[in-house]
A and B are shown apart, each in its own frame.
Chain A
């Protein structure tokens, strides 16, 4: 087992690191501290640069025209791309392109033409509508939104909460109960266009992530055709399971990006700042905080790379991906917290990016499968049937 990046990986990492430091960070100095968008002219210029670097559409599978980057390299890139103020939720402000919803890669040819390809070209935006007021950890049981069969197709009634980007989306995936008698086996995934009558974005939900909000949706007699079903009837949870686990690995690595930057800043600061006649760096209390940061960062990076290595080798990696997500999201929060402490009052201000990282990292322990649920899934893998 070799943990040293290859020459090719080192070259890509260096290129992306330079891009973040020379192109993104200087722009950020002029943006609002909570900004999540670049001015259009900067965005266009940087997208063109990324395309010239051959890295546009980083997460698009090679068979759909993406650059075909392996998961280990993707982990290393995630750690680089997010080392700026907005980097946790909008690494490089999205100029590397987005892969969109993994489930759509399993769509029918007609659905791909209508939704997937325009989404990959950046022409259409999508949302993912699973969570409901009745709960998101266990959607199989909690989903109350009903889709009822009619002669023309289906009629959907119900609501969703905490849905990101639905107000700006052209379409989205809505999970609805199609068989009330069955739990997990009674939920179907529908592709729903936001312009269809009966689709409503009722309110903005403000969260700690003040760069972009979540929304609450209501479906009021929303009519959808049979062709809107993604995958099979009553098998909404069976779509793209492996692709969704894959997504979890860069999600985990992304948590580490601001943590690496915070740690680097804390080290620099500790070497300069003096209290009681000596540098902070000379104090054991501070040294231990930095060592604990180093331990958190190394352990989490190794967990992400271990998950990526299994994924690249074509071996089962669901447990490793879940572990990487929960370890990295928790460790990154601790690293940013310690780094803020080393900065003292300055660490609490909007003059530095820590406060944004601190707020946004908190959400990572709930998003993409809450950490308790990740632990639950790992326990099931470890204990198998004896858990029941």
Chain B
């Protein structure tokens, strides 16, 4: 499995989100320039998994998000942490939209 998400971005609209399966997984949100501004997950408490979480993002997009991509993943909690750690490795901090929100304790990764 590639450690970074590489799927193409999809426009963050109610219609596109409605087409998603109600699965567990992780997602990234990006601004118009394709910069990741939020990393999140749709977990076991979300009514329709990633779809429910992205519905919230459509209603109130964090940090100017206009696009999204998802990865269906049962290991969403550890994958979520991995994506946050990779972002910190690549950019020195968590995405703007994650700042000020509860975060898990993050470790340090130095991928090759």
Which A residues have a C-beta under 8 Å from some C-beta of B? 32-37, 39, 165-168, 194, 200-204, 206-207, 210-213, 215, 350
With A35-B77, A167-B85 already in contact, the answer to whether A200 and B110 are too (CB < 8 A) is yes
Q: Are A213 and B78 interface neighbours, CB within 8 A?
A: yes
Interface class of chain A by DSSP: loop
B110 touches A212 (CB 8 A): no
Residue among B43, B44, B105, B109 making CB contact with A204, cutoff 8 Å: B109
Per a CB cutoff under 8 Å, which of A39, A206, A211 touches B102? A39
* B74 surroundings in chain A (CB, below 8 A): 210
Chain A contacts for B76, CB-based, 8 A: 34, 210
Knowing A32-B43, A37-B105, A203-B3, the reply to whether A210 touches B77 (Cβ < 8 A) is yes
1/0 per residue, CB under 8 A from A, across B76-98: the answer is 11110110010000000000000
Chain B residues lying within 8 Å of A33, measured Cβ to Cβ, are 43-45
Q: Which residues of B contact A194 (CB under 8 A)?
A: 108
A213 adjacent to B43 (CB under 8 Å): no
- Cα A167 to Cα B104 in complex, Å, equals 13
Question: Which of chain A's residues have a CB closer than 8 A to the CB of B109?
Answer: 167, 201-204
User: B70 → chain A, closest Cβ, in Å?
Assistant: 17
A33 to B, closest residue via Cβ: B44
CA distance A32 to B74 in the complex (A): 13
Specify which of B77, B79, B85, B111 is in contact with A32 (CB 8 Å cutoff).
B77
Query: In the complex, how many residues of chain B place their beta carbon closer than 8 angstroms to a beta carbon of chain A?
Result: 23
Contacts of A168 in B (CB 8 A): 105-108
On chain A, the residues within 8 Å of B44 by CB distance are 32-34, 350
**Residue on A nearest B82 in the bound complex, by CB:** A204
Q: How far is the CB of B111 from chain A (nearest CB, A)?
A: 6
Q: Find chain B residues with CB under 8 A from A35 CB.
A: 77
A32 and B45 form a contact (CB under 8 A): yes
A–B pairs, 12, beta carbons within 8 Å = A32-B43, A33-B44, A34-B44, A34-B76, A35-B77, A204-B82, A204-B85, A204-B109, A206-B75, A210-B78, A213-B81, A215-B107
Q: Does any Cβ of A come within 8 Å of B33's Cβ?
A: no
B77 touching A34, Cβ below 8 Å: yes
User: Please, which residue of chain A has its CB at the minimum distance from the CB of B73?
Assistant: A206
Of chain A, the residue at the smallest CB distance from B102 is A39
Report chain B residues within 8 Å CB of A200: 110
* Closest partner residue, chain B, to A194 (CB atom): B108
Alpha-carbon separation in the docked complex, A200 to B107 (Å): 12
Q: In the complex, how many angstroms separate the beta carbon of B12 from the nearest chain A beta carbon?
A: 23
Bound-complex Cα distance A166 to B108 (A): 9
Given contact pairs A168-B107, A201-B108, A212 touches B78 in the complex (Cβ within 8 A): yes
Known: A33-B45, A204-B81. A210 touches B104 (CB 8 A): no
Interface residues of B in 10-31 (CB under 8 A from A): none
Q: How far is the CA of A165 from the CA of B43 in the complex (A)?
A: 22
Q: How far apart are the CA atoms of A174 and B76 in the complex, in Å? A: 30
Beyond contacts A32-B45, A206-B75: 19 other A-B pairs, Cβ-Cβ < 8 A, are: A33-B44, A33-B45, A34-B76, A35-B77, A37-B105, A167-B107, A167-B109, A168-B107, A168-B108, A201-B108, A201-B110, A202-B111, A202-B112, A203-B111, A204-B3, A204-B109, A210-B74, A211-B78, A350-B44
Q: How far is the CA of A203 from the CA of B85 in the complex (A)?
A: 10
Chain B nearest CB: distance from A36 CB in Å?
A: 8
Closest to B89 in A: A201
Q: Closest CB of chain A to B27's CB: distance in Å?
A: 15
Q: A167-B109, A201-B108, A213-B78 are in contact. Are A34 and B85 (CB under 8 A)?
A: no
Q: Give, as a whole number of angstroms, the nearest-CB distance from B74 to chain A.
A: 7
Which residue of chain A has its CB nearest to the CB of B112? A202
Q: How far is the CA of A88 from the CA of B75 in the complex (A)?
A: 17
- Look across to chain B and name the residue whose beta carbon is closest to the beta carbon of A210: B75
A215 to B76, CA, bound (A): 16
What A residues does B78 contact at CB under 8 A? 204, 206, 210-213
Complex-state Cα separation, A350 to B81, whole angstroms: 20
